[in-house]
Amino acid sequence: MAIEKILIVDDELLLRNFLAETLRRKHYEVATAENGEQGIAKFQEEGYDLVITDMRMPDLTGIDVLKKIKSLNPKTIVIVVTAYGSIENAVEAMKLGAFNYLIKPFTPDTIEAVIEKAKEHSQLLDENHFLREEVAKSPFSGPFKFIAESPIMKKIYQDILRVAKSNASIFISGESGTGKEIVAAAIHQHSLRSDKPFIKVNCAAIPESLIESEFFGHEKGSFTGAHARRTGRFELANHGTLLLDEITEVPPLLQPKLLRALQEQEFERIGGVKPVKVDVRVISTSNRNIRQAIASKQIREDLYYRLNVIPIQLPPLRDRKEDILPLSEYFVEKFCAESHLKKKTFSDRAKAKLQSYRWPGNVRELANIIERAVVMYPDAVIDSDALLLDPVLASQETPSLERIKEGQNLPVGMTLGELEKLLIIETLDQNKQNRKKTAEVLDISVRTLRNKLNKYKKESE
């Protein structure tokens, strides 16, 4: 909550004018009230970020104003001023939520310094609120369950237990939706840092102009709009784990500073001159082909080697079919509980449909399909018609292009039309359903691609 609007409540005209003039020179929007009742009425009408109230007034006291303001909006910062200071009054005001207690007379510099401290306090409250929301959204919050029934995922889980206790950097790769954040959370949960922060940075979601500040923070006045010091994610993750999600999206110009922070475990905030020391365990993820990313200069090779001390490669869901039904049952139970519904089960036809689907969106897509079925399908037993899957992708009977390239599952007996369909569908998957990009890769028009997909859809109906 930025401090922009300030309300002054005081029965002394000279002090009201002095405070108002001082704060307006600092470009705050200031309103005044000559008594407690008028101040509370104005606060209810307009709402203010900060309230300065006198302690002794004819009708309501400063304590009365403080109590009412905090009941209306607990986030509002209240500063109490008085000419009759006592320890008892100061203690009472602070217990009731006052940010500061000032004794008259005071200088403009004093009130400006107190408000600067209030701005820093307000920002810390916002950051703490942000972190609580991040934790609530994280797969690490609440009951945590790592589901692994397939041999490959059981091995990965054993690897997680083996590497979690170390401080080594870990690089998790895999297609979008395979559960890279879940694996990172599991590593943190089993680490010696499990009682410390688990901070996530989605590198792809932060504008390039802001990402350095997100990583390392900034000092007050370091650039336009930097009204107070900001704590970066590296600092917030001190003694804990920092997850750099989609690391290949970090701008090249920032990568040398990131590399130094990883190597030295220290950095400078933007505009700062004093190094900030941290103790952070870093986990990175990417859904890109990392060799191609290095070749195209999206990520520095030395940075990658620093991040990739321990690699973990997550397979797509279509290559670990043993996990599909256990995951589906877990999601059914989870979404039924969240929607306050009785537990549902799957029919045999629904189970068969789940296992035959190719899951281009992996576990994330599976979760979305199950949630939709739980919410929209009224019956206690979820049947196959409740699972709204893409009919073009609803069969895994054809071999994958990757296996064909490796000399496995050669398409002997497959017609040219079937091979063309396989090529189009897999290229569409690899390009995240982007038809324009898929058409460019296949050297066909978007219209031709659309016609072929419509044809495949009709054939499957």
Span 339-385, pLDDT tens digits: 999 999 999 999 999 998 989 899 999 999 999 999 999 999 999 99
**How many domains are there within the chain?**
4
pLDDT at 140 over 60: no
- pLDDT higher for 167 or 92? 167
**Torsion on CA atoms 314, 315, 317, 321, rounded to nearest 10:** -120
Q: Write down the pLDDT at residue 412.
A: 46
Give which of 59, 69, 50 is closest to 4, Cα–Cα: 50
Cα distance between residue 145 and residue 142, in whole Å:
10
Which residues have a Cβ under 8 Å from the Cβ of 148 and sit 6 or more positions away? 154, 156, 157, 323
Which residues have a Cβ under 8 Å from the Cβ of 44 and sit 6 or more positions away? 72
Whole-prediction pTM: 0.62
Q: What is the rounded average pLDDT of the residues 192-216?
A: 91
Please indicate, yes or no, if residue 129 is contained in any of the structural domains: no
Domain boundary among 74, 102, 124: 124
Judgement on whether residues 151 and 286 belong to the same structural domain of the protein: yes
Please indicate, yes or no, if residue 435 is contained in any of the structural domains: yes
Judgement on whether residues 227 and 173 belong to the same structural domain of the protein: yes
Which residues have a Cβ under 8 Å from the Cβ of 345 and sit 6 or more positions away? 332, 380, 381, 382
Q: Write down the pLDDT at residue 306.
A: 96
Give which of 69, 68, 29 is closest to 51, Cα–Cα: 69
Burial class (CB in 10 A: 0-12, 13-18, 19+), 152: middle
Model pLDDT for residues 314-343, shown as the tens digit of each residue: 999 999 999 999 999 999 999 999 999 999
- 8 Å CB contact between 122 and 182: no
Judgement on whether residues 211 and 185 belong to the same structural domain of the protein: yes
Judgement on whether residues 156 and 299 belong to the same structural domain of the protein: yes
Cα distance between residue 49 and residue 7, in whole Å:
8
Q: Write down the pLDDT at residue 461.
A: 54
Please indicate, yes or no, if residue 263 is contained in any of the structural domains: yes
Q: What is the rounded average pLDDT of the residues 146-169?
A: 94
Judgement on whether residues 308 and 321 belong to the same structural domain of the protein: no
Provide the CB-side half-sphere exposure for 396 (13 A, CA): 15
- The count of other CB atoms within 10 Å of the CB of residue 273 is 7
- 8 Å CB contact between 179 and 292: no
The lowest-confidence range among 138-142, 274-278, 366-370, 387-391 is: 138-142
Spell out the alpha helix ranges (H) of 202-269.
211-216, 233-236, 255-264
Q: How confident is the model at residue 441 (pLDDT cuts 50, 70, 90)?
A: confident
Q: How confident is the model at residue 129 (pLDDT cuts 50, 70, 90)?
A: low
Q: What is the rounded average pLDDT of the residues 19-26?
A: 93
pLDDT at 6 over 50: yes
Please indicate, yes or no, if residue 133 is contained in any of the structural domains: no
The lowest-confidence range among 129-138, 276-285, 326-335 is: 129-138
Judgement on whether residues 10 and 84 belong to the same structural domain of the protein: yes
Judgement on whether residues 309 and 321 belong to the same structural domain of the protein: no
Judgement on whether residues 172 and 297 belong to the same structural domain of the protein: yes
Q: Write down the pLDDT at residue 184.
A: 95
Please indicate, yes or no, if residue 396 is contained in any of the structural domains: no
Please indicate, yes or no, if residue 48 is contained in any of the structural domains: yes
Give which of 233, 148, 232 is closest to 182, Cα–Cα: 148
E strand residue ranges, 323-457: 345-346, 381-382
> Counting runs of H as helices and runs of E as strands, what totals does the chain give?
19, 14
Cα distance between residue 321 and residue 142, in whole Å:
27
Please indicate, yes or no, if residue 132 is contained in any of the structural domains: no
* Helix pair 446-460, 416-430: axis angle to 10 deg: 110
- pLDDT higher for 142 or 337? 337
The lowest-confidence range among 23-37, 76-90, 389-403 is: 389-403
Domain span holding position 73: 5-124
Residue 365, token pair as written in the block: 């897509």
Judgement on whether residues 410 and 385 belong to the same structural domain of the protein: no
CA 453 to chain centre: 35
Give which of 244, 286, 249, 248 is closest to 262, Cα–Cα: 244
Please indicate, yes or no, if residue 394 is contained in any of the structural domains: no
Give which of 177, 412, 221, 222 is closest to 317, Cα–Cα: 177
Judgement on whether residues 184 and 236 belong to the same structural domain of the protein: yes
The CATH number of whichever domain residue 383 belongs to comes to: 1.10.8.60
Angle at 135 between CA 134 and CA 141, to 5 degrees: 145
Cα distance between residue 22 and residue 14, in whole Å:
12
Q: State phi, psi for 80 to the nearest 5 degrees.
A: -105, 130
Domain boundary among 102, 124, 146: 124
The DSSP-derived string for 49-60 is SEEEEES--SSS
Spell out the alpha helix ranges (H) of 6-48.
13-24, 36-46
Model pLDDT for residues 419-431, shown as the tens digit of each residue: 788 888 888 877 8
Judgement on whether residues 145 and 270 belong to the same structural domain of the protein: yes
Judgement on whether residues 326 and 291 belong to the same structural domain of the protein: no
